[in-house]
Chain A
């Protein structure tokens, strides 16, 4: 089934102080859908003045109302937001699919349900959060209380537009802060459609959205003297800039900067050809989730030498069965890359991977509809691989419509499996495409060494039937999240964040509240006697 595109606005505005407002300079930019590369709406090209207005509105709301609200009121608001989001789940899923290019089955089954759950989780934990009280001696009591920071700035990435906004918004609001958000310029639409739905639940000025480009709107937000914290998800150079700007105002920041996550398969996974091994193969193919545009993309597969040939044969078949196509078709597994420059960049990596001598086991090119009149003479190995990689093979169900399943003008890449060595650039850089690089290891020690031979440490996967390995190996891998016999699960209740150059701080989990709260210590003396110094 192919979903219809919903009617969307011709132009979106900023959201400041509870109102949808034009950018001060009156300028807009065109926003294309990566499905077909065509512009479908306009977005404010905001500048410093819009950011100033948003920070002022947020500060006013914080001072006058929001800081005085009870945790019950805040939790109730988050629950109502979750309910409204859930009631409009399909619409919001469609908007994210159109704006980002990700397949509708992912936005329906993952992005949006996780948004809903995230608001409910933080509605719950803020009610259960307690401060601390200690009697230091019989006359002295120490009370630790949580207080909000004030106005916080949040810069959202484009890979999970609404979910990444929810990851940052829910804890910040639960903790009692007011927020100024700058959505990614590639994917600015879903948060506006969402605000249209939930705006009546949020007091004016508590959430403010300023659209625009990084150097014109993102930088003024990150440098703003009025914010008490800045949160950013993106890459390392901008991460360093954010730290630099935070240092100018002496404020804290949290950074999530990506990785090159190893997905490690020990020989015991092939002890039986059972449900668990099927799960392992899906786990290896998870590099293609969200077109590989995931900070934790398991983009390095490490497989034990003793099973490598058999494992890769099964994996290649699994990858060749992945259907690339129209993201609005609910049978599509891999949709469009989010932007043209992303599409171009991935092609550069496909080229350098081949130049460095990596063997192409699957894919290796952009995805286009197969030529209808391809002659038998030309239809050698490459053409066959192309056909299956785009999902025309398999049971043939996808090949019926003749017009082809891949929309013209969009940014589509074949799921690609490289085999090579860990020092190749395709093993060391986050390609942010559906591209995985496979290498082999002899034993546990080598698996750990290769896993850690990276500048990053965000995610990792470990797959084994050996109970000792499934504890020992994850502990030895330097990464903030190690999935054990699973991958790409993102429950709100599990802490997420990076070691090494993958960032600073955590998202998700109750502990996230600490990134949005001050600690107020009240030290109370019940003694009536002077200390005796003066």
Chain B
């Protein structure tokens, strides 16, 4: 079975469930750059306009996870785990009013895993 590119912690699943109850279907987009960059952003599905510059690298707890293709080039050798920590990241990510912040934990794939990874889907926007 192919190795997943994005995983999710149990704590993050609980937060996703609460957000889904409040906002309906969700999406993640991995940010880069300044301040809260490198944090995953969670929005109501469709709120963030995807483009052909984005790729989908998996689904976590039923929520699609996207990242910009060029950024993914630097991330693709690492498996991501979306976790959640107490904190107050600024951005428009939905969990922030709850006093928690999604963050990404990363680890390098083994050679065997790297030979059989989940496919990366282009976004046909």
Interface residues of A (CB under 8 A from B): 29, 45, 157-159, 184-186, 213-216, 218-219, 233-241, 244, 256-259, 293, 295, 339-342, 344-345, 348-349, 351-352, 355-356, 423, 425, 428-432, 455-456, 501-502
B96 touches A215 (CB 8 A): yes
Contact of B87 (CB < 8 Å), options: A293, A341, A352, A501: A341
B108 touches A234 (CB 8 A): no
Given that A214-B93, A241-B48 are contacting pairs, would A432 and B34 also be in contact in the complex, using a CB cutoff of 8 Å? yes
A423 touches B88 (CB 8 A): no
Interface residues of B (CB under 8 A from A): 29-39, 41, 43, 47-49, 68, 70-71, 74-75, 78, 85-94, 96-97, 99, 101, 103-108
Q: What's the Cα separation between A176 and B37 when bound, in Å? A: 33
A214 touches B91 (CB 8 A): yes
**Residue of B whose beta carbon sits closest to that of A234:** B35
| Closest 6 A/B residue pairs (Cβ) | A258-B34, A341-B87, A235-B37, A237-B31, A258-B33, A341-B101
Contact of A344 (CB < 8 Å), options: B30, B74, B87, B93: B87
B35 touches A355 (CB 8 A): no
Contact of A158 (CB < 8 Å), options: B86, B90, B101, B107: B90
A216 touches B97 (CB 8 A): yes
Contacts of A257 in B (CB 8 A): 33-34, 37
Contact of A345 (CB < 8 Å), options: B39, B49, B90: B39
B33 touches A214 (CB 8 A): no
B87 touches A233 (CB 8 A): no
B97 touches A233 (CB 8 A): no
B92 touches A238 (CB 8 A): yes
Contact of B86 (CB < 8 Å), options: A214, A256, A340, A502: A340
- 6 A-B residue pairs with CB within 8 Å: A213-B97, A234-B37, A348-B105, A352-B108, A429-B74, A432-B34
B48 touches A344 (CB 8 A): no
Q: What's the Cα separation between A325 and B91 when bound, in Å? A: 28
Q: What's the Cα separation between A375 and B121 when bound, in Å? A: 54
A341 touches B32 (CB 8 A): no
A258 touches B37 (CB 8 A): yes
Q: What's the Cα separation between A157 and B31 when bound, in Å? A: 16
A233 touches B106 (CB 8 A): no
Contacts of B31 in A (CB 8 A): 235-238
